[in-house]
Structure 1
Amino acid sequence: MKRSRTLRVFGLLLLGSASLSTEAQIAHADGNAKAPVATSGQEVGISPWGPDDEIGRLNLITPESRAAVLSRIKGGKAYDLATDYYIGMPSWQAAGDPHYQFWMTHTPRGTEVDDPMGVGKEMNATRSYTGSAFSMYSHTGTHIDALNHFGIHGKIWNGFKADEQLGDRGWKRTGIEKFPPLIARGVMIDIAAAKGLDMLSDGYRITRQDIKDALARQNSTLQEGDIVLIRTGRMKLFNDPQAYMANPPGMGLDAARYLVEEGGAMVVGADNLSFEAFPSEVPDDYVPLHTYLLAQQGAPIIELLALDELSRDKVYEFAFIGGPLKIRGGDAAPLRPVALPLQ
């Protein structure tokens, strides 16, 4: 009963405010709800980096910017910001996407029976062989969204059209394989800690003022070209997938605008799965932050980041180093980022 209820609420979250269940609305009513704002806009962004640009704000990564951040690495501890992958982990299967699957293709005893390499039982008994395979939706675990993930009226960032650029083998333009290695200054904004909480409440929508307050508490500043990571504390529920997925806290649209337009963020990310909060603030867009960031600003989104260790050690500024798998034409890919504190 609990499982079906959780998945039902999760499925309703994807449909926006028009179909949100009464119980989910009650859960969201935490004093932080806002009246709908104006529509997020009906045109995709056109790149200032030219008509062939496919990576958006990642153009802010330059040899000079890489050298600047790498020259400041303190050394010592490295923080792994990636999640584990495990069967039953949080995923979008309620929206019809495949969940994470893992299976053994070769085991020591199995190879003795099957002899798949034709080397004989004695060899198989001596040389134990283990092999496995896995499959998953591209937006599973710690991952980064490509700029083609969401668009407007069949167009994506820089005006590329699905009718012209999307084939049966993925996008011809803006595929995730076009992303360069991500080497930049990273800033973690600990919203939960700034409020004296281990974790933000279900459905909480982070505001512009929340970000300013947290930055002041941390004595942190934002710079153009930063990779900005938001901690809600939700990762504490990662091993309880149903709880993790149900009505998570997330960013408000005005807060996202502040990060990009005033803070200069190049990439944004968080420790939840959807980055934004539901129900949508925008009547005609059920995922306005994805539309705004990816399609209009060319700013990639990272989701399911493990930020609790940074929070525990009060590490707010670091060199962010990572890169997605180079999946041609992909709309997202797994990411294994690390944070190296700066001096």
Structure 2
Amino acid sequence: MKTTTFILVTLLTIKAATAQQKEAVGESPWGPDDEIGTLNMMTEASQLQVLSQIASGKVYDLSVDYFVGMPSFHSLGDPGYQYWLTHTPHGTVVDNPNGLGEAMNQKVSYTGDAISMYTHMGTHIDALNHFGLNGKIWNGFTPEEHLGDKGWKKTGAETIPPIIARGVLLDVAAAKGPLPKNYRISAADLQLVLRKQNVRLQNGDVVLIRTGQAQHYENAADYLDNYPGISLDAVKWLVEEMDIMLLGADNLSFEAFPPERTDNWVPVHTYLLAEKGAMFIEQMFLEKLSADKVYEFAFIAASLKLRGASASPMRPVAFPIQTKQ
């Protein structure tokens, strides 16, 4: 019995070690200096093509509001969203900060404000330096060589270009009904959605996954409560077989928790960012696209050029396009 137990433990240890060894940062096919990974799939020709297919001037805003008390990663010790007024109409009359006197400050009202926030809040895109494996990030860049006191010198949010591409909504919540807590969306689920929506994916697409979680965004406790997310096999299918360029979802952190592997607490993050150089957008608002059954669109977005940062707020929009169906 002891021998059998020893052999079983040994085999499990070897299996776990092998699984860990298979996870390694990817070497970019776009060269040793590449910092944007799969966004290299975007070209002037591909951008022009999707823009030429826009069918109407109706625009869908795919971002959420920022406000005090909004959902955040506070459980990991990250700061919440803070907002404060630096100038108010009455305060400037009292303080006279511009030195122009009471009469001028009563005539010209002045409001100013400031914010403080974690970069991974609200609708944002994760940069390729956000998660790495075995001491390296995408394309083999190391913190010893490329991380300074003021951020990463490689793959920072400032390197992310404006994104114009064909977008596809995969409305999982509509196809399967309300998803259970902690539900992991599989490749089979996504294939089911594509059949129901009568949509085909194309190389270089931006694929947005609707879990329905954005319905709870105004209530942080509900939004953060054991939310569903995408599985590792689903993202592997999207990236390796469908050649997707960019991903997004309406939940807090894209994948579901607790993690589906015991040797990696964020296997979807490290697979996409570190192994494949594929970025993704979190905390999107996809409810209006879903309500109008808009599944194919021109996706247009740009993020703030936060030098060295691991993420940046993003304001994506969608314009319905003509389809071949």
Sort the TM-score into its range (normalised by shorter chain): over 0.9
> Which residue of the partner structure matches residue 7 of structure 2?
none
1:218 to 166, 177, 197: 197
Taking the aligned partners of 1:125 and 1:94, their CA distance within structure 2 comes to: 45
- Identity, in percent, stands at 59
2:88 to 107, 125, 140: 107
1:212-243 Cα deviation digits (max 9, x unpaired): 00000000111111110000000011011011
3-state DSSP of counterpart to 1:185: strand
Q: Name the amino acid aligned to 1:311.
A: S
> Which residue of the partner structure matches residue 44 of structure 1?
25
Aligned residues: 305
Structure 1 unaligned spans of 5+: 1-36
Q: Name the amino acid aligned to 1:309.
A: K
Kindly indicate whether the alpha-carbon contact (under 8 Å) linking 1:154 and 1:163 is maintained by their aligned counterparts in 2. Answer: no
CA separation of 1:221/1:39 partners in 2, compared to 1, >3 Å: closer, same or farther?
Answer: farther
> Which residue of the partner structure matches residue 4 of structure 2?
none
CA separation of 1:222/1:40 partners in 2, compared to 1, >3 Å: closer, same or farther?
Answer: farther
Pair 1:246-2:235 in alignment: no
2:150 to 169, 191, 197: 169
Pair 1:291-2:278 in alignment: no
Taking the aligned partners of 2:199 and 2:218, their CA distance within structure 1 comes to: 31
TM-align CA RMSD: 1.1
Deviation, structure 1 residue 76: 2.5
Deviation, structure 1 residue 193: 0.5
Kindly indicate whether the alpha-carbon contact (under 8 Å) linking 2:23 and 2:275 is maintained by their aligned counterparts in 1. Answer: no
Taking the aligned partners of 2:133 and 2:81, their CA distance within structure 1 comes to: 29
Pair 1:158-2:136 in alignment: no
1:256 to 227, 235, 238: 235
Q: Name the amino acid aligned to 2:74.
A: Q
Kindly indicate whether the alpha-carbon contact (under 8 Å) linking 2:202 and 2:242 is maintained by their aligned counterparts in 1. Answer: yes
Pair 1:84-2:65 in alignment: yes
Q: Name the amino acid aligned to 2:314.
A: L
> Which residue of the partner structure matches residue 331 of structure 1?
310
> Which residue of the partner structure matches residue 117 of structure 1?
98
State the TM-score, normalized to the length of structure 1: 0.87
1:95-133 Cα deviation digits (max 9, x unpaired): 100100010000000000111111111100100000100
> Which residue of the partner structure matches residue 205 of structure 1?
184
Taking the aligned partners of 2:21 and 2:169, their CA distance within structure 1 comes to: 26
> Which residue of the partner structure matches residue 47 of structure 2?
66
Taking the aligned partners of 2:76 and 2:83, their CA distance within structure 1 comes to: 20
Kindly indicate whether the alpha-carbon contact (under 8 Å) linking 1:40 and 1:288 is maintained by their aligned counterparts in 2. Answer: no
3-state DSSP of counterpart to 1:132: strand
Taking the aligned partners of 1:124 and 1:200, their CA distance within structure 2 comes to: 55
1:168-223 Cα deviation digits (max 9, x unpaired): 1110000111111010000000001111x2x3221111011100000000001111
Deviation, structure 1 residue 138: 0.3
Taking the aligned partners of 1:40 and 1:258, their CA distance within structure 2 comes to: 21
Deviation, structure 1 residue 261: 0.7
Taking the aligned partners of 1:96 and 1:162, their CA distance within structure 2 comes to: 22
Taking the aligned partners of 2:155 and 2:95, their CA distance within structure 1 comes to: 44
> Which residue of the partner structure matches residue 194 of structure 1?
175
3-state DSSP of counterpart to 1:91: coil
Structure 2 unaligned spans of 5+: 1-17
Deviation, structure 1 residue 281: 1.4
Deviation, structure 1 residue 40: 8.2
State the TM-score, normalized to the length of structure 2: 0.92
> Which protein is bigger by CA-based radius of gyration?
2
Taking the aligned partners of 1:260 and 1:40, their CA distance within structure 2 comes to: 21
Deviation, structure 1 residue 39: 4.7
Taking the aligned partners of 1:241 and 1:295, their CA distance within structure 2 comes to: 29
